[in-house]
A and B are shown apart, each in its own frame.
Chain A
Amino acid sequence: VASGRLVFSVVSVPEGVVSSGVPLDAYEFVATGTPYVELLTEAGFGNIAVVDMTDAYLATAGDWLRVVDDLEADLRRALGDSILDEKVASRRAGFVQLEAGELGRTLYSATASG
């Protein structure tokens, strides 16, 4: 983007939860030792806005798990056990961390300085 807008959402370990004593690759989900705002600034972006979307993420993640329970038999027929089980296990793990405040979802928007 030379002079346009960048908008993206990230599911990640919240900055306040990332511990300096823990290697970043030890986290099951994306973690960064450098805040995204800092990374965007270093990359030449300005006019940066940040929206915490964790509450909506929690609601959607919970809805997804409930609907999967409702549709499980049909989903198994469609996807097969392996793909469905892997996906559900990953989402359940994320949901547990989300409820514990160890995972969040953030929307960033920024303008390239161009």
Chain B
Amino acid sequence: MEDAHAAEVELIARYCDYYAQIDHDVLRELERRTLGADYGGNGYTDVAQAAHVVELLGVGSGDRILELGSGAGWPGLYLSRISGAQVVISDIAWEGLAWGSRRAKAEGLDAYAVASAGLTLPFRDAMFEGVTHSDVLC
């Protein structure tokens, strides 16, 4: 148990180190050229696939989405942007969430950030119309 806790703390620190760097223009360029957007994405979902996720979730204005393992908010913030749904981005690394919160505010998105591990989510049942995660299990 202590080993698992230490491993989680190390993982959080590593991701926070990574997300502390994501304001660099070169990372924005890397994202735009590979995914088509620059929301601090760290996976393989591109903008076309994100649009498909919205279709599959079937969400729109008035709905609420939870993105697990969101990092800085890709694709969750983009899902909110194109669907009008409220999004809650959630991850263990607060540094990415802080960046995502600033980005959401700058874009006027209906978004909240919650720092939590996926196994201990602080939400009541039936709170979300859609839940998504992108390349978290890899």
Chain A interface residues (CB < 8 Å from chain B): 1-12, 29-30, 49, 53, 56-57, 60-61, 63-64, 67-68, 71, 74-75, 77-79, 83, 105, 107, 109, 114
Chain B interface residues (CB < 8 Å from chain A): 17-18, 21, 24, 26-27, 29-30, 33-35, 43-46, 49, 52-53, 56-59, 125-126, 128-138
With a cutoff of 8 Å between Cβ atoms, the chain A residues found around residue B138 in the complex are 10-12, 29-30
With a cutoff of 8 Å between Cβ atoms, the chain B residues found around residue A83 in the complex are 17-18, 21
Query: Are A4 and B27 in contact (CB-based, < 8 A)?
Result: no
A4: which of B33, B128, B134 is its contact (CB, 8 Å)?
B128
With a cutoff of 8 Å between Cβ atoms, the chain A residues found around residue B53 in the complex are 7, 107
Q: Which of A9, A77, A105 has the most CB of B within 10 A?
A: A9
A78: which of B27, B35, B128, B131 is its contact (CB, 8 Å)?
B27
Taken together as a complex, chains A and B put the C-alpha atoms of A29 and B136 apart, in Å, by 11
Q: Which of A6, A10, A77 has the most CB of B within 10 A?
A: A6
With a cutoff of 8 Å between Cβ atoms, the chain B residues found around residue A74 in the complex are 24, 26
Q: How far is the CB of B31 from chain A (nearest CB, A)?
A: 9
Taken together as a complex, chains A and B put the C-alpha atoms of A107 and B27 apart, in Å, by 26
Query: Are A8 and B133 in contact (CB-based, < 8 A)?
Result: yes
With a cutoff of 8 Å between Cβ atoms, the chain A residues found around residue B126 in the complex are 1-4, 114
Q: How far is the CB of B101 from chain A (nearest CB, A)?
A: 22
